[in-house]
Amino acid sequence: MHFLSDPAIQDAAPAPAGLSDGPAVGYDRPVQPENDALRKELVFVVAAWCFVLTSVVPVRAAERNTVLIAGGEVTGYYLPVAGALCRVINKERPRGMTCAVVPSSGSAANLAMLRAGEVDLALVQSKAAQQAAAGEEGFREAGPMTGLRAAMALHGEVAVVVTRPGSGIEHLGDIKGKRVNLGSPGSFQRAMAETVIDASGLSQGDLSVLVELDLDEQVVELCRGNIDAAVFTGIHPMDEVQAAIDECGATLVSIRSKSMDAFLRKVPSVSRFVVKGGTYDGQKEDIAAIGFKTLLVSDRLASDDVAGVIRAVWGNFTAFTRLHPVLRGLSKGEATRDGIPIPMNEGAARVHGEGGGK
């Protein structure tokens, strides 16, 4: 195992930028820079996060006083977000603890390390956390993680519906009878598109044509008029969405339906999001959206230690949210409610109850 150590947080620390992560189950999607400036920014940020790389022997939490947080790939979002958490912990040293980040391939790998006791905390997608806790889908063979608990929610990966001019789609329900791209079978884009269809109260059979294009094909086919709508999922703003707006005047449609409340009760891993007006050039109004949050989770770490970590984050919350673009706009309220489908860690809940999450 390798970990990345990190110096103490600075209150006016500059916010790193330019990394991308898809919190799909077990998959930490790398960013694909579109220009030289972004490439240079990416190189700078990767270098900034890789302060010290050291080999360590995996040990249980009880045998050390360094909290290990499972992150993600170097070119992903999970790793720098885990690094931001460590910077707070290393500044405050709650209960004498220090912190280091463990790189990984994503949610599934993080949950495996957490289950084995090789790390103390992990960043995972909300859907993966729900499946692991219940021992479902890809976690069926390993069995339920009955001790899996949430400490807080962080950024999310958000799905939006983008329509071509003249499609006649002004509301989500208008996709009935339309040609909609759902993405390649087995892909995260496909899973999110199916989630959007379910949230709309429709079924795939309500679409006139079900299209299976990759993400990088959607814009061309949308602007050629070969499809009426497509679902784009990621950290916004997305280059692909802006390209559709620029190339053919595509528009974003809010994901709202009469059955939304019932759907969210049935699928607690899904959260409401808002893509603020002005996120994209030409987008004037806020757009309602849905997606999966990234959760900080624990398994065996003592509840008092988890409480110490959360109290340290709350005490440096403004500085924490400046450490990476995906954390900007995060509120303490959002970090403690909605889209958290597993029980809250007792220590974290205690801090939230003290008013730390308000």
The whole model's pTM is what?
0.82
Rg value, the chain, Cα: 20
Which amino acid would we find at residue 175? I
Q: What gap in Å lies between CA 167 and CA 259, rounded to an integer?
A: 24
Q: What is the pLDDT of residues 33-74, one digit of tens each?
A: 444 443 444 444 444 444 433 333 344 544 569 999 999 998
Does 229 or 13 have the greater pLDDT score? 229
Q: Roughly what angle, to the nearest 10 degrees, separates helices 126-134 and 107-116?
A: 40
Cβ atoms of 292 and 125 within 8 Å: the answer is yes
Report the pLDDT value the prediction gives residue 38, as an integer from 0 to 100: 38
Over residues 178-184, mean pLDDT: 94
E strands, the chain, are: 2-5, 52-55, 66-70, 98-102, 121-125, 149-163, 179-181, 209-211, 229-234, 251-253, 270-275, 287-298
Q: What is the pLDDT of residues 141-170, one digit of tens each?
A: 999 999 999 999 999 999 999 999 999 999
Q: What gap in Å lies between CA 206 and CA 229, rounded to an integer?
A: 14
Report the pLDDT value the prediction gives residue 353, as an integer from 0 to 100: 84
Would 2-148+299-356 and 157-291 be classified into the same CATH topology? yes
Establish whether the linkage from the previous residue to 237 is cis, with ω within 30° of 0. yes
Q: What is the pLDDT of residues 63-86, one digit of tens each?
A: 569 999 999 998 889 999 999 999
> Which sequence spans correspond to the domains of the chain?
2-148+299-356, 157-291
Burial class of residue 226 (count of CB atoms within 10 Å of its CB; 0-12, 13-18, 19+)? middle
Report the pLDDT value the prediction gives residue 233, as an integer from 0 to 100: 94
Output the CA–CA distances (angstroms, integers) from residue 250 to 29, 64, 228, in the order listed.
26, 54, 10
pLDDT at 208 over 80: yes
Does 312 or 20 have the greater pLDDT score? 312
Q: Which residues contact 252 (CB under 8 A, 6 or more apart)?
A: 160, 161, 162, 163, 241, 275, 280, 283, 287
Q: Which residues contact 138 (CB under 8 A, 6 or more apart)?
A: 25, 26, 108, 131
* CATH topology (fold) of 2-148+299-356: D-Maltodextrin-Binding Protein; domain 2 (3.40.190)
Cβ atoms of 192 and 164 within 8 Å: the answer is no
Q: What gap in Å lies between CA 239 and CA 243, rounded to an integer?
A: 6
Q: Would you state the CATH architecture of domain 157-291?
A: 3-Layer(aba) Sandwich (3.40)
| Structural element, H or E, at residue 355 | none
Q: What gap in Å lies between CA 124 and CA 293, rounded to an integer?
A: 9
Q: What is the pLDDT of residues 235-261, one digit of tens each?
A: 999 999 999 999 999 999 999 999 999
What percentage of the chain reaches a pLDDT higher than 90?
Answer: 73
